[in-house]
A and B are shown apart, each in its own frame.
Chain A
Amino acid sequence: MRIQEGRIGRQETVAMLCMAIYVDTVFTLNSARAYGGGNSTYIWLPVSILIAMCAVLLPMRAMEKAGLHTLDELLAGAFGRLLGRAAGLCIIGLMLLNVYLVAMVFVNLIHNFVFFESSHWAITIWVTGVMFLLCTWGLECISRTALILGPLVGVVLIASLAGNAGAYSLHRLYPLPGNTLAEMAEMALAGAVKPFGAIAGLLTVTRGVQGMRFGRRACIAAAVAAAALALCTQLAAGLTYGYADLRNIPFPMHRLGMMLVREGYFFRMDTLLVFFWLMAAMVAGAYHLYAAAAMWCRCFGLRDVRPGAAAFAAMLCCAVVLQAEGYYSWVEALYGWLDSRGWAALLLPLLAAAIQLVKCRRQGGAQA
């Protein structure tokens, strides 16, 4: 069996998970939709992360009670083998969707802001190639890379937010709170699907993270840290640009320093900073790719994670290039689907957890 899981500690797990959640929620935000009717992303985005965390903690609890180790076992136990595999495919799709959005955003970003004359193919192969390479080296490699890069990216993130404080202005956050409570609740629920994809990856590698108990603690720590960082980032973006401006800015992090009139420490660092965010995105992408390939292996009894990862990476490359070659409307449709029905993906593991808990209770009652 070459699942390449290895064993990682809590710090590695938290760093990897936090990075993945943050990248999935903040960097892949659909600006046109998120800021369409005002800006309350600094409220609902952290809330969506906490919703996703809760949506994973329940299946964890059910798995712990039933003595199951991985998500595929939970799905198979709850829905039966065939339906369990189908449900597993949905979860794999969700993970691949996450890595696709991350790769797409960064390939477009690098193409538009850094290497304008390079083709999308070249940039895509460069980005996904690194993700694939990290993925084939296994979970230990991904998580330890995350632990090395995580604090660095975190410090740079906080420094860049603080360094641009001169451009912040409170009036840009108004009208407060930007959206109605119902709109915020809807967006938080719809937005939870992306961090859920990141956290659900943990359920496929519970052995690697030293068991369910350690996994749960790491999951809570990572989700809370990512929610706090998302709050800071979105608040900074909201203080720098009004919502009407933000809906036209696909990646506000790159333009935080543009409002500064006086040159500061981060004045000409925006392109350099893109590479820090890219490092985080590559680690997050590798983690998603690995989780999807591991889930594939477990669902279909394969013994090596690499063929699945290679196939997914190749599909990913083609899909990223396609959107740049005139099929961006597909991405818009995808975003539209995620925003309207994406929350349904959360129901699968929740339903499986509920069924499993009922089964456990019945078994407990029968034994008594």
Chain B
Amino acid sequence: MRRRLGAIIMLLLCCLALAGCLGSVQADDYMYVVGIGFDRGREYKYNISFLVQKEVGGEGQSSTGGIEVYSAEGDSIFDAITTLHAGGPFRLNFSRTNTIMFSRELAEEGEMEQLMDIAFNALKLRQSAKLLVTLCPVRDFMDGLRLEQSPNVTKLMASVMENYGVDGITAVTNYALMTESVRDKRLDGIVMLGGLDETAADSGGEQPQGGGGQDSADMVQGGGEEAGSGGSQQQGQQKENQQDKQDKQEYTTAGVYRSGGMGAYVSGVALFDGWRMAGALDGHDTKFLLLGKGDFNTGNITIPYDGDRVVAYLRAGGKPRVTMDLSGEPRALVEMEMVCGILQYMGEYGQDEWERGLKAAAEEYIEGELGRVFEACRRMGSDAMGFGRYAVMEFDGSAAWEAYDWQGSYPGLEVEFRVELDLADENIAMRLE
């Protein structure tokens, strides 16, 4: 009797599982948002765009790939969602959102904090969503993601990760990492930097209407040969150079002419001081930023040597060893080891070229570049290399650490970089042959 009663109860409980049949939702009732973008609005505070991944494959595929961009103005993301729901036979679903984008204007005004101060769970947004700052209006950047041959927008993110891991030209940060940097105050955030190269876009896509190229022109600062990137601290000479670059970069990908592929590109990083964007670094400088931060994996650099150039392949040999001295003005010694391979040698070379001067020249060049990038970050007030992470290790109590005020001390930090390169392949001549 008891068993029978138990079985009946279990059977009744199993019926609860059928609740999924009530209020059923068809798969196409939802539009899956893969990216959210924030621009300054005209009528309301923000213009909020939603990058939607449509079904790919099959006959229904449009010439713009599987991407659709919807946008609406509002004072918050919820206003924009409500407006879009009112005007479309669908509901936006954010469970697959992997990127949140901000225009440079909003990032510089520190509005990311206010925009992100929302109940993530109410939208089913994950805190691991990646962040991106665009030099152009986000709406234009989203439009620029269209690619005839590759309608899957999530592949863009895979490509960015590849750039991060293999080339080191950008750094991927998510919301959780960003909030950590703001709350813990041990380092400042760095966020992927995106831009738009209108002329490069594949013929298949609809050309964007905004002035994204113009925006991208004056943004990428502190590039390879330029000394430092300074935001408001730009010198007169640099301004002239910027103007030259602006003319050149209007329709380029971070200063380089390109054709084919997507109009949108991701290269470099936006540097933050708390929630406020303090400046930007280009792809070249980002490599050295990541080297100094200990996040660099692999990448190529061009080293000036003996009146010519050497293209070298770098691979990090572990995390940098950082020694901090906080007794007076803060000082840091950063020692790092890297494995170096020679990819191209543009001059006369000999078997002993590495020991004869190339090693020292390469080390000196990397140390110089690290120092230059650090200086640029320091001028912007952004501890992007994360020296606070090492400073905190010098304290044995949270009260003492909090009383020290790392952010106040950081502008006085002096850093010495020491690089030790190890040649990956001793037989350069043989390999180049």
Binding site for B on A (CB under 8 A): 37-38, 112-113, 116, 169, 171-172, 174-180, 241-245, 248, 255, 257-262, 267-268, 270
Contacts and interface: CB of A to CB of B under 8 A. Distances in A.
A171 B393 contact: yes
B183 A175 contact: no
A175 B176 contact: no
B90 interface: no
Given A175-B401, A178-B398, A259 B183 contact: no
Given A258-B127, A261-B173, 7 more contacts: A38-B397, A171-B393, A174-B395, A255-B127, A258-B128, A258-B174, A262-B161
A242 B174 contact: no
Given A112-B121, A261-B174, A261-B177, A175 B395 contact: yes
Contacts of B400: 175
Interface in B262-300: none
Given A242-B186, A244-B183, A244-B184, A259 B176 contact: yes
B130 A245 contact: no
B392 A245 contact: no
7 contacts: A38-B397, A174-B401, A175-B396, A175-B397, A178-B397, A179-B397, A259-B174
B379 interface: no
B174 A171 contact: no
Contact of A171 (B128, B161, B172, B389): B389
Nearest to B401: A175
B122 interface: yes
Contact of A37 (B175, B183, B390, B399): B399
B167 to A, nearest CB: 16
Contacts of A259: 128, 174, 176-177, 180
Query: Top 4 closest A-B pairs, CB basis?
Result: A38-B398, A242-B184, A171-B389, A258-B176
Interface residues of B, number: 31
A175 B186 CA distance: 11
Classify the interface of chain B: helix, strand, loop or mixed. Answer: helix
A130 to B, nearest CB: 9
B104 interface: no
Contacts of B128: 257-261, 267
Given A175-B395, A262-B161, A241 B180 contact: yes
Contact of B390 (A171, A178, A248): A171
Nearest to B123: A116
A267 B126 CA distance: 10
B298 to A, nearest CB: 15
Contact of B183 (A179, A180, A245): A245
Q: Which of A169, A174, A180 has the most CB of B within 10 A?
A: A174
A262 B171 CA distance: 12
A262 B164 CA distance: 11
Interface string B366-406: 00000000000000000000000110110111111100000
A270 B124 CA distance: 12
Interface in B389-432: 389-390, 392-393, 395-401
Nearest to A267: B128
A257 B390 CA distance: 24
Interface string B149-185: 0000000000001000000000011111101100111
B164 to A, nearest CB: 8
B186 A171 contact: yes
A172 B369 CA distance: 28
A112 B127 CA distance: 14
A243 B398 contact: yes
Nearest to B127: A258
Nearest to B295: A261
Nearest to B185: A244
A175 B395 CA distance: 5
B75 to A, nearest CB: 22
A116 B126 CA distance: 14
Contacts of B401: 174-175
Contacts of B172: 261
B323 to A, nearest CB: 14
A275 B132 CA distance: 32
A188 B393 CA distance: 24
B397 A255 contact: no
Contacts of B174: 258-259, 261
Given A113-B121, A243-B398, A244-B183, A171 B126 contact: no
A316 to B, nearest CB: 20
Contacts of B185: 244
Nearest to A261: B172
A262 B389 CA distance: 22
Nearest to A175: B395
A174 B393 contact: yes
A138 to B, nearest CB: 12
Contacts of B180: 241-242, 245, 259
A37 B126 CA distance: 28
Given A37-B399, A259-B180, A261-B174, A175 B392 contact: yes
Contacts of A267: 128
Nearest to B396: A175
A345 B184 CA distance: 36
Given A38-B397, A245-B184, A257-B128, A174 B176 contact: no
A261 B392 CA distance: 24
